[in-house]
Amino acid sequence: MMRNRIAPLLESALLKAHAAQELTTFPLPAIIIGHPVNPEHGDFSCNIAMQLAKGERKAPRQVAEIIIKYLGNGDGLLAKSEIAGPGFINVFVAQSAWLDTLLEIEQEGDRFGRTTSGAMKKVQVEFVSANPTGPLHIGHGRGAAIGDTLCRVLDAAGWDVTREFYYNDAGVQISNLALSVQLRCLGIGPDDPRWPEGGYQGEYIRDVARAYLNRETVEAADLHTTACGDPENSDDIRHFAVAWLRREQDLDLEAFDVRFDVYTLESALYSEGRVDAVVQKLIANGHAYEQDNALWLRSTAFGDDKDRVMRKADGSYTYFVPDVAYHQAKWERGFTRVINEQGSDHHSTVTRVRAGLQALDIGVAQEWPEYVLHQMVTVMRGGEEVKISKRAGSYVTLRDLIDEVGRDATRFFFLMRKPDAQLVFDIDLAKQQTNENPVYYVQYAHARICSIFDNAGEKGFNAPEKPAPADLACLSTPEDLQMIKLLAALPDTVDDCAVHLEPHRLTYYLSELASCFHTFYNKNRVISEDRPLTEARLYLLRRTAQTLKNALSILGITAPERM
Q: What is the pLDDT of residues 109-142, one digit of tens each?
A: 999 999 999 999 999 999 999 999 999 999 999 9
Q: How far is CA 204 from CA 92, 140, 229, 251, 408, in A?
A: 61, 17, 17, 14, 26
Cis peptide before 369 (omega within 30 of 0): yes
Instruction: Give the chain's length.
Output: 563
Position 467 scores a pLDDT of 83
Provide mean pLDDT across the span 91-107: 94
- Give the whole-angstrom CA distance, residue 40 versus residue 178: 65
Minimal CA–CA distance to 534: which of 487, 469, 464, 451? 464
- Give the whole-angstrom CA distance, residue 128 versus residue 107: 37
Position 206 scores a pLDDT of 94
DSSP 274-296: HHHHHHHHHHHTT-EEEETTEEE
Residue 487: pLDDT over 80: yes
- Give the whole-angstrom CA distance, residue 471 versus residue 38: 30
The answer for 59, left when phi > 0, alpha when psi is -120 to 50, beta otherwise, is beta
Position 124 scores a pLDDT of 98
- 2-93 and 99-116+434-554, same CATH topology: no
Domain 2-93 belongs to what topology?
Gyrase A; domain 2 (3.30.1360)
Three-class DSSP category at 164: strand
Q: What's the DSSP call for residue 392?
A: T
Minimal CA–CA distance to 394: which of 242, 556, 205, 531? 205
- Give the whole-angstrom CA distance, residue 498 versus residue 445: 25
The answer to whether 414 and 141 have CB atoms below 8 angstroms apart is yes
- Give the whole-angstrom CA distance, residue 361 versus residue 285: 8
Position 390 scores a pLDDT of 65
The second-level CATH assignment, the architecture, of 99-116+434-554 is Orthogonal Bundle (1.10)
Cα dihedral angle (19, 24, 29, 31), rounded to 10 degrees? -50
- Give the whole-angstrom CA distance, residue 142 versus residue 503: 12
Share of the chain above pLDDT 90, in %: 85
3-state secondary structure 479-529: HHHHHHHHHHCHHHHHHHHHHHCCCHHHHHHHHHHHHHHHHHHHHCCCCCC
Provide mean pLDDT across the span 534-553: 96
CA-CA-CA-CA torsion sign (401, 405, 408, 412): negative
Domain locations in the chain? Answer: 2-93, 99-116+434-554
Q: What is the pLDDT of residues 226-283, one digit of tens each?
A: 999 999 999 999 999 999 999 999 999 999 999 999 999 999 999 999 999 999 999 9
Q: What is the pLDDT of residues 208-230, one digit of tens each?
A: 999 999 999 998 777 789 999 99
The answer for 378, left when phi > 0, alpha when psi is -120 to 50, beta otherwise, is beta
Provide mean pLDDT across the span 330-340: 97
- Give the whole-angstrom CA distance, residue 536 versus residue 547: 17
Q: Which helix (H) or strand (E) holds 308?
A: strand 308-311
Q: What is the pLDDT of residues 449-477, one digit of tens each?
A: 999 999 988 888 877 777 877 889 999 99
Q: How far is CA 503 from CA 15, 156, 411, 555, in A?
A: 36, 12, 11, 8
Q: Mean pLDDT across the chain, nearest whole number?
A: 94
* H helical segments located in 364-489: 398-405, 407-415, 427-431, 438-458, 478-488
Provide mean pLDDT across the span 531-555: 96
Position 378 scores a pLDDT of 95
How many Å from the N-terminal Cα to the C-terminal Cα in the chain? 32
Q: What is the pLDDT of residues 495-535, one digit of tens each?
A: 999 999 999 999 999 999 999 999 999 999 899 999 999 99
Position 33 scores a pLDDT of 93
Q: How far is CA 367 from CA 302, 338, 500, in A?
A: 11, 10, 15
